Amino acid sequence: MVYKLLIGNNFILNNPKNVTFKNSPIFSLNEDNEGPYINTELFDITGSKIIEIIKNNVIFCNKELKTKFMKRDHILIVDKNGEIILESRVVNKETIIVSGRFGIDEEVITITQNYISFANGKRIMHSKVKSNNASISITENGIKSNN
């Protein structure tokens, strides 16, 4: 089966496996009989784990965060202000949408359904990238396939 990832109004086609920012993984993807899924661990600025997800199942969620949806096809975790920390939605067996706030090296990128925003205010959207079963990298100059 072939699946695609939608992040910030960017289409990543042909089974992307890992999504990185600044050479660090922010989440990985794969698929099984139920469709595509993500695996990820998110940490706060002190390095403490705040979320762990394996195969779209919430394994750990910091008690200060609120889990609004916790199903295989829709995960939504927000902070105390209602801001999305992580959302994963399996639209169908061929499409997964991921958004949230991902911190790497004290820099946070925000992925919404409309764009990817960087700490310096730059945004990227409307890319179409073929991953060909490889990893992709998010950069301020766009999304690049690592194959």
Residue 41 domain flag: yes
Residue 103 domain flag: yes
pLDDT for 79: 96
pLDDT for 103: 85
Number of domains in the chain: 1
Residue 134 domain flag: no
Residue 143 domain flag: no
Q: 132-137 — which CB contacts under 8 Å span 24+ positions?
A: 132/14, 132/15, 133/14, 133/15, 133/16, 133/17, 134/16, 134/17, 135/16, 135/17, 135/18, 135/19, 135/20, 136/12, 136/16, 136/18, 136/19, 136/20, 137/19, 137/20, 137/21, 137/23
User: pLDDT band at 46, cuts 50/70/90?
Assistant: confident
Residue 144 domain flag: no
Residue 12 domain flag: yes
Residue 15 domain flag: yes
Give the tens place of pLDDT for each residue, 66-112.
Answer: 999 999 999 999 999 999 999 999 999 899 999 999 988 778 899 99
Which residues constitute the domain of residue 65? 4-125
